[in-house]
Structure 1
Amino acid sequence: MPAPVPARPRRAVAFCCDDRYLPYALFAASQIAGQAPQRDFDICLCGTEKPVIPDSLAGLGLRAIALSPEPALAGFGLDARRSESAYHRLLLPGQLAADYDRILYLDSDIFVQGGDIAALLGADLGGHAVAAVRDNPQWRTPGRMPEEFRTFRLGPARYLNSGVLLIDVPRWQKLGLTERMLAFGQSRGGQLKRHDQTLLNCVLHGDWAELSPKWNWQYSRAARLHEAMLGANIVHFIGPEKPWNAPAGALPPRFGAELSRFLRQHFPQRATALPPEGTGPGSRRMLSMLLRHLLNRRKMARYLARFPTDLTLRP
């Protein structure tokens, strides 16, 4: 096991995962480390049980951090695809405040293609505690009313996707957001339809800075071809189809091929044969995607025009 890595700068990228998702979090962490070998930020793997980083990845200088369990989370809603670790991102600002003033939280089901993460960590959030990307239903329909806002009798507001969160730790602490979210969840645990995302959106209710979708390109049939032309910094595989389990033709083969090579080298016991086939140009899936992209092209153009650069933030 690699020797413990102490905290260095006051900025970090952090993943929260259990053992099931650890290989995929480490894959994304290795992509970031490879793209920023002289980085001035830490890369942390966090869990209530300290993640075990293979010796073969010791050279990347990753930190493994054990989070203190939060008993209140036990009653919060989950589903078959998620464990309690889905809520651990809400604990990061409080439990890592001694080491970090800025934290970029990332989900484990991502593919990191580029982007200046150091510059993002230094972005001006305009007094907000959180910056994030809208959830993709609001990309094309900004005024769309989220179901949770109706459920909890909240007014219309922007609705964020919680897969990528840029957190100003002192501001988060000053606003008492962890405590407010835990209190909200304890009183409505069975109604948290989208888990941590519901908590964040209902407590913040639009009080967050908006990032370019290039930092959290939520991969769907209605947006994947736009990504192929524009290029995203982080591709986020929302929904059940991931590079490690997607059926043949569901995703471009490059995603699975790179992950497969990583798993064979560092987690051979978890390596599986991933389908090499991509989506054929004459397939029904391709025809469906082409039609969706054709129909939404103007709405997507309006949305993307709001972000002249990938470091533009909207208050």
Structure 2
Amino acid sequence: MTKLTIVSTANNKFATPLTILYRSILSNDTVNQFAFYIFNDHLNAQNKNQLKQLESEFPNCQKISFLTVDEQLFKQVVTDERIIKAAYYRIYTAELLPDLDRVLYLDCDLICNGSLETLWQTPLHGKIIGAVEDAGYVPRLAEMGIQAKQSFYFNSGVMLIDLKRWRKEKITEKVMTFINQYPEKLKYHDQDALNAVLADNWLYLHPKYNMQSRLIRREQEHPLAPAEILAEEARQNPILIHYSGRSKPWLTFGVRPHPLRREYWRYVPTTQPQFPGQKTG
């Protein structure tokens, strides 16, 4: 039996999707134990209770804990209507969890479709994180003026993090320095800063561990044929489905329906509170 530690960030808008994500993780692995840490962005008592109920519902849910960050640390960060200040809180994971050596960071808009044990056990071979290439295949490192041996740019929605090496290399300090010194470069916010600091220091993971919406919709092929083979493998057997972009499975207005929205609703109890505009199925 293995203990997996999951870290996420949530506000009241995303408390229910996060609950569904955790429910999907716990439902797909009844062998291992899970501890969940949530960066708390002003969650109300009702939403905290909704998440805490997983402890009694699933025997393999060891605990749900809430983390608090000093918001003043992020008073100057770049935000927009989709990327809020709390998205930056995860940068301080190593400091707020000083006794842990490894965590798996997951965005709220994901669903787990299998066991995470193999991902959790993945050797990082000296790299600080493991992540999946961003499915937009954008040349962001070059655009930011970052010199790197590998031009790949990762999506930060799923990150397997070696906290010991993160602390040793002072990554939090380096990322925050980049954020404060180069706000004009942060088109994709803290994801840009993480890529800038961790260039050449992250392990390329199989896209089945972060199958993003662009990949699902086949919006573009990877420029490298071997990577496109991996993309097709991910479509056939995704472990983590990432509802990246504006189309979310709990939304039924304003955007085209997500092709894998039913995967989300598989894990929604009939008593689960709904957002305005939601419908089951």
TM range (shorter): 0.7 to 0.9
Is the counterpart of residue 211 in structure 1 residue 205 in structure 2?
yes
- The corresponding residue for 1:258 is 266
Deviation at 1:102, TM superposition (A): 0.8
Letter in 1 for 2:15: L
CA distance in 2, matches of 1:253, 1:41: 25
- The corresponding residue for 2:224 is none
CA distance in 1, matches of 2:4, 2:256: 39
- Give yes or no for contact 1:48–1:66 (8 Å, CA) kept in 2: no
The percentage of aligned residue pairs carrying the same residue is: 24
Deviation at 1:39, TM superposition (A): 1.7
CA distance in 2, matches of 1:249, 1:65: 32
Work out which of the two has the higher radius of gyration on C-alpha atoms and give 1 or 2: 1
Question: SS of the counterpart of 1:137?
Answer: coil
Q: Deviations over 1:208-230 (max 9, x none)?
A: 11110000011222169947851
Written as runs of structure 1 = structure 2, the 5 A alignment for 1:77-92 is: 77-92=78-93
- Give yes or no for contact 1:12–1:42 (8 Å, CA) kept in 2: yes
Deviation at 1:240, TM superposition (A): 0.6
Alpha-carbon spacing, 1:235–1:197, altered in 2? closer, same or farther (3 Å)? same
Written as runs of structure 1 = structure 2, the 5 A alignment for 1:48-197 is: 48-49=41-42, 52-54=48-50, 56-59=53-56, 60=58, 61=61, 62-98=63-99, 100-114=100-114, 116-138=115-137, 145-146=139-140, 148-155=141-148, 157-197=151-191
Question: SS of the counterpart of 2:6?
Answer: strand
Question: SS of the counterpart of 2:245?
Answer: coil
Q: Deviations over 1:21-65 (max 9, x none)?
A: 111111101111112233234123222546613264341334121
CA distance in 2, matches of 1:93, 1:242: 30
CA distance in 2, matches of 1:164, 1:64: 19
- The corresponding residue for 1:45 is 38
Question: SS of the counterpart of 2:156?
Answer: strand
Question: SS of the counterpart of 2:241?
Answer: strand
List gaps (5 residues or longer) in structure 1. 1-8, 139-143, 277-315
- Give yes or no for contact 1:131–1:209 (8 Å, CA) kept in 2: yes
- The corresponding residue for 1:230 is 236
Alpha-carbon spacing, 1:228–1:189, altered in 2? closer, same or farther (3 Å)? closer
List gaps (5 residues or longer) in structure 2. 221-230
CA distance in 1, matches of 2:119, 2:258: 31
- The corresponding residue for 1:284 is none
Is the counterpart of residue 241 in structure 1 residue 219 in structure 2?
no
Question: SS of the counterpart of 1:25?
Answer: helix
Deviation at 1:136, TM superposition (A): 1.1
**Aligned partner (choices 19, 24, 33) of residue 26 of structure 1:** 19
- Give yes or no for contact 2:20–2:264 (8 Å, CA) kept in 1: no
Alpha-carbon spacing, 1:11–1:171, altered in 2? closer, same or farther (3 Å)? farther
- The corresponding residue for 1:274 is 279
TM normalised by structure 2 equals: 0.81
- Larger strand fraction of residues: 2
TM normalised by structure 1 equals: 0.73
